[in-house]
A and B are shown apart, each in its own frame.
Chain A
């Protein structure tokens, strides 16, 4: 049981970070505004969660300009996808284990 819980990645403890990973897992690219819309969070809050995921190298970003406005697109990295999938698997096992008790 303990090992299962340890295999849940710390970066995914926050539901917002999990949310970011969920959106990026099914979309090639997503910009800041769209993420903000889906997750219903403030700019600052989202930015800090994005930064921490970036630090883990789970997501990457591409900056560009749309007209004159800066536009930042986020995407999931290979590492991030693997960690996210591992996390999902661990969650599934955890719930199954608890069901059996």
Chain B
């Protein structure tokens, strides 16, 4: 499990690209099904449905909200 805190980004004067402080957490649970098969359940950015880490200003519209992301991974070694 990883928890992290990042303080606010004040942004540039008049550019409107400030970002609030945030706390986020990732978690991973690994299971060994057999010596050759492993499964991992992974959750990234679990504490909010979406949030901004950095604004991109200028030529592109402000995309970039990072979603809560559950994942799973199956690994087979041979």
A and B from one complex:
no
Residue positions of B touching A, CB distance < 8 A: none
Residue positions of A touching B, CB distance < 8 A: none
